[in-house]
Structure 1
Amino acid sequence: MPSLTFVLPHWLYWALLVVFPLFAMAMARRGRSDGPRVYSLPLAYFVLVTGGMLGLHRFYLKSIPWGLVFLPLFAAILYANAHQRDARSAYSDAANIVRVSTSTIEREEPRLAEADASLAGLRAEVAAAEEGSFTRRAAERRLQREERRLESSRQRLEAARIDLREQQAIAQTTGESRDFWENVAFIAFVAILCLVAVDALLLPFLVRSANRKLATEGADEEPLQPLSGEFLKDRANIHPGPSGWIDRLSFYSGEFVSYWAVIAVFVYYYEVVARYVFNSPTNWAHEGMYLMFGMQYLIMGAYAMLSESHVRVDIFYAPLSPRRKALADILTSVFFFIFAGVLLVTGWIFAADATRVSEVSFTDWQLAYWPFKWAIVVGAALLVLQGLAKLAQDFRTLASGVPSTPGASSTPGKA
């Protein structure tokens, strides 16, 4: 199997985080329609490019039987690569032992070949020395050391020869297994590429066929509509002035970063394919995504507050009337502003320090950290603004009794 060496450039990472949400927001609004749902040829090609190895374009067009053809081939690639990795590891270990054994044999064989002459000379020294003399005892010690050294050398040589015979056999077997599974994975990969190429040509006909079938059987359901528009219009009618602008800012910033989750789907899909199909794990996918999700979590705080999605214990709060709810929110807002204020101040300190020292990530990718630190500031600022808007709305509700949330009941005991 070929390997993948692609590393996402930093500029492309930031461009995706900015451009893709804008494109997605425009497409979401462009896709609003009162007519029946139809299959889209551009979307079908998009699914083909991103998920063609799994046949997802076939599943998108409800061509289930042919879509199932892709799955065994993809599973064969995963299975073959798993065996290939095991065989490669075993081959590497055996080849390393073969190298060490060969080196040992090349070193010890000449030494043993000279052993007879060396021992003969030492024995002659012992025989020539006077019995009981210091010279004889010294010669005997040298002879004993040389005999022990040579015996140790023979043992090493014998062990090296045994290891060489065994590991050469293992290296040959595992090498053949590695090549076999590599060929299996490559053949399955080529088969998938051929199927994808054929489907790329057939896709216009497949889309038309799917739309004819859809028209005959009837569309499943109406497409989901974006939450903007009516929701913000109702809030603007209830809360005119700066609160309406803050609501819009919180809403659109939340909608903007929500599309980052779609980027994560594609990136992790690439990581899985690169790791398990091409044996080429990335050093940027996981880091880039968890940093992106950290920014998303921070910036979405104001949107969650706007849509009242934060966790709250409703056992006492839900039965209250709108005025009592507003009073409770006003009294507890002090804790919110303490948290949001601390987050804003500490985020500013972190971001300023990271910008000053040009802090980068700890991996080989070395992505700049200061934009992520400034996301803390942006998220905290949005949260403070939305908190102020909520506080103003609560004061208006306390004075007028009109609930601050569009569609909420003004009857006590109903939320």
Structure 2
Amino acid sequence: MPGLQFTLPHWAYWLGLIVFPLVAMVLARRPRARLARYSLPLAYLILVTGGMIGLHRFYLKSLLGFVFIPIFGFILYANSTAGEARSTLSDANNIVRIAERTIAREEARVAAAETGLLELRANVETAEEGSFARRSAESRLERALDRIESGRTRLEEAKAGLAEMRPVAEQMRQRRAFWSSAAGYAFYLILALLAVEAVLLPWLVRRANRNLKAERPSEAEMALQASGGHEQKNDAEYVSSGWTGWIDRLSLYAGEFVSYWAVIAVFVYYYEVIARYVFNSPTNWAHEGMYLMFGMQYLVAGAYAMLTESHVRVDIFYTQMSPRRRAITDILTSIFFFIFAGTLLVTSYIFAFDAIAVPSGNGLVSDWARGQIGLFEMLSRLSPSEWTNPNIRWGEISFNEWEVPLWPMKWVMVLGGLLIVLQGISKLAQDVRIVIRGA
């Protein structure tokens, strides 16, 4: 089975986190057609990402997608069997190596002990009966005999283990080679089928769209399609009027931006599963990249959750109050919110600045953060090499082999804290407005 050795570059990770949500936000704002149609670009995307299990066929509502599933299942089974054989082979080879070392060591020891046996027996016979020399010679002879006996016992055990494990190792070696080859052939078969599907896909999409025209949905169904399949509350309804509306829109766009990161996680974890179980090539970056991404998403989306009132709260009494009394309650309790949000913002800033100023950082930004150079000197000396040279590190990096910089994540903590503080100011201003106007 071919391997799949790929490590995501750091620049590609950050570029994906920035560009993908922007493209998704633009696409989400496109006007929808009254009649949903199958898309050839989307079909090719599904072919590339999920074609190994026939998802492109299922997208076009073709039952021939079931042809891919047993082949893919066979690849998983073959790789699993080859993995078990590899594990057993490793154990058997370890036993064989230990047995070979034991035999080489004990044969030399036994031979040396047997060589000196005649001399030890002669010393016993020539020594005077009952003397100290006689007892000493007998003791040395007894130890030599014990050494020979224990050595021979270990030799027998090692030779028995060697005779038992060598055939097992050879059997597992052949078993691993067989199932690895079988998985490889099945993989190449799927690649051949996907190549044929790639050629046929334009025709398949056109045929699927012709079938849609023959089965035109009703007006109610088209309305349901236009709404995404269910009634949705427009987030724009949470945006207030006046200057606070600018803050609300900022929180709204920030929440929408990071929400598309969840789609990135689907692709990345799908790649990780395929790389691990199909190509036997687990990544060293997928899990770390995603949990760092979700940590940033949690912080940036906090302002959006506050705007849309998505945070969990106990509202047994709160919901029964009038709008003015709720506003007064929010004003009185906002002190606790600003203590939390202010602490989050300040501590995040300290963490972020410390992450740049760590001693391991050898870039200009780290030198500036440590106070070794001034701000304008740092800006004047910045060059493309500061971004592209892999030997330059601006600050704290992860302990994983991927070594992704951690300081950008900590600055996103600052951004998330700032957005929450701003949204708190917007909420406070709206509550004051309600109290004054008596709305």
Determine if the TM-score, normalized by the shorter chain, exceeds 0.5.
yes
Matched, 1:397 2:395: no
For structure 2, list consecutive stretches of 5 or more residues without a partner in the other structure: 359-394
Q: Give TM-score scaled by structure 2 length.
A: 0.84
Distance 1:83 1:343 in 2: 50
Distance 1:231 1:137 in 2: 99
- Residues 157-196 of structure 1 mapped to structure 2, 5 A cutoff: 157-196=155-194
Stretch deviating more after TM superposition (107-116 or 388-397): 107-116
Q: CA deviation at 1:335?
A: 2.0
- C-alpha change, 1:228 and 1:11, in structure 2 (3 Å) is farther
Question: Which residue number corresponds to residue 327 of structure 2?
Answer: 326
Matched, 1:337 2:338: yes
Matched, 1:222 2:225: yes
Distance 2:428 2:108 in 1: 91
For structure 1, list consecutive stretches of 5 or more residues without a partner in the other structure: 403-415
Q: Give TM-score scaled by structure 1 length.
A: 0.88
Question: Which residue number corresponds to residue 48 of structure 2?
Answer: 49
- C-alpha change, 1:10 and 1:125, in structure 2 (3 Å) is same
- Residues 345-364 of structure 1 mapped to structure 2, 5 A cutoff: 345-357=346-358, 358-364=395-401
% identical equivalent positions: 60
Question: Which residue number corresponds to residue 69 of structure 2?
Answer: 71
**What is the CA deviation profile of residues 271-328 of structure 1, one whole-angstrom value per residue up to 9, with x for unaligned ones?**
1111111222212111111111011011111111222222233432334333333233
Q: CA deviation at 1:398?
A: 2.8
- C-alpha change, 1:114 and 1:320, in structure 2 (3 Å) is closer
Distance 1:325 1:295 in 2: 31
**What is the CA deviation profile of residues 328-372 of structure 1, one whole-angstrom value per residue up to 9, with x for unaligned ones?**
322222222221111111111111111211222122222211111
Q: CA deviation at 1:401?
A: 4.9
Matched, 1:374 2:374: no
Question: Which residue number corresponds to residue 142 of structure 1?
Answer: 140
Q: Which amino acid aligns with 1:141?
A: S
Q: Which amino acid aligns with 2:35?
A: P
CA contact (8 A) 1:94 1:171 kept: yes
Distance 1:148 1:205 in 2: 84
**What is the CA deviation profile of residues 242-275 of structure 1, one whole-angstrom value per residue up to 9, with x for unaligned ones?**
2121121111111111111111001111111111
Question: Which residue number corresponds to residue 86 of structure 1?
Answer: 84
Question: Which residue number corresponds to residue 103 of structure 2?
Answer: 105
Q: Which amino acid aligns with 1:211?
A: N
- C-alpha change, 1:229 and 1:147, in structure 2 (3 Å) is closer
Q: CA deviation at 1:190?
A: 1.9
Question: Which residue number corresponds to residue 254 of structure 1?
Answer: 255
Question: Which residue number corresponds to residue 39 of structure 2?
Answer: 40
Distance 1:280 1:384 in 2: 44
Q: Which amino acid aligns with 2:397?
A: V
SS of equivalent residue, structure 2 residue 38: coil
CA contact (8 A) 2:5 2:281 kept: yes
Q: CA deviation at 1:49?
A: 1.1
Q: Which amino acid aligns with 1:105?
A: I
Distance 2:89 2:14 in 1: 42
- C-alpha change, 1:313 and 1:34, in structure 2 (3 Å) is farther
SS of equivalent residue, structure 1 residue 166: helix
Distance 1:108 1:300 in 2: 68
Q: CA deviation at 1:3?
A: 2.1
SS of equivalent residue, structure 1 residue 278: coil
**What is the CA deviation profile of residues 28-53 of structure 1, one whole-angstrom value per residue up to 9, with x for unaligned ones?**
123x2242111111111111111111
